Amino acid sequence: MYQTVLIGIDDTDNKESRGTGYNARQLGHLLEHEKLGQVYTISRHQLFVHPDIPFTSQNSSACLYIQNGNIDQLIPVCQQFMKQSCVPGSDGGLAIASLNDITEQVIQWGKMAKNHVLKQADAWKLAEENTIFLEGFTGNNDGVIGALAAIGLRKWGNDGRCIWLKGKEIREISGVYSQKSLQAICPIDQIITEEGLPAEADELIQTGEWMRPAIKNHKITLYIEKSDNPKYTWHVKPKSRLKALTD
């Protein structure tokens, strides 16, 4: 059965390796190459930073939003990817579920993971109760906590920043675009200021080297600020100020 599927991964890295965001993008490339679905977004979700929670750098997890995916086909490919990608010293976790099967309980788990120390045993219990595929791969498997949180937060639709948009990695998009032309090449739902002021269709926007659209009210949202440069009206809100809206 083909449907929208969310895939959460967490804690695949160590201090010397590439991060979980990189691994999420590599998994996205693999799934598209194998024609197992269209990667609509990959999002980064910030979780609780606390002395009792081990993490590599920032304690973030990632979620792949897959359109026209088949869970039975996706699971073995994702398992194999995690076995190959989780490095020594990591606590890799994987969660996979149909978008429609992610309940309010799982959404609340994701929200709690942003400001509470959660227990791995509760993650397993929640996954079993909600028929969510959950698996750990390395270390003590604590990555299942963040992987489950990632799919809950993505279903909620009010958390995180995109590191992939349908059809391309966001790092491929840089330079100056009109609002209209930017939305023609990637599925950005709205381009607005923090106060909600939209850009006009022909106004020029400097995207910088790597724009990071947020997920707000289930919409892919690119936040912009007025520019002093006469060559364009707006520039994308820098990461340092975007974190307050997305973390």
Question: What's the pLDDT at 41?
Answer: 96
With H, G, I as helix, E, B as strand and everything else as coil, classify residue 146.
Answer: helix
Of the given ranges (20-34, 61-75, 79-93, 96-110), which has the lowest mean pLDDT? 79-93
With H, G, I as helix, E, B as strand and everything else as coil, classify residue 145.
Answer: helix
pLDDT above 70 as % of the chain: 94
Question: What's the pLDDT at 13?
Answer: 57
In the predicted structure, residue 62 carries a pLDDT above the cut 70: yes
Question: What's the pLDDT at 50?
Answer: 61
With H, G, I as helix, E, B as strand and everything else as coil, classify residue 15.
Answer: coil
Band of residue 146 on the pLDDT scale cut at 50, 70, 90: very high
What's the one-letter identity of residue 82? M
Question: Measured between alpha carbons, how far is 154 from 143 in angstroms, rounded to an integer?
Answer: 17
Question: Measured between alpha carbons, how far is 93 from 144 in angstroms, rounded to an integer?
Answer: 4
Tokens representing residue 196 in the block: 């909600």
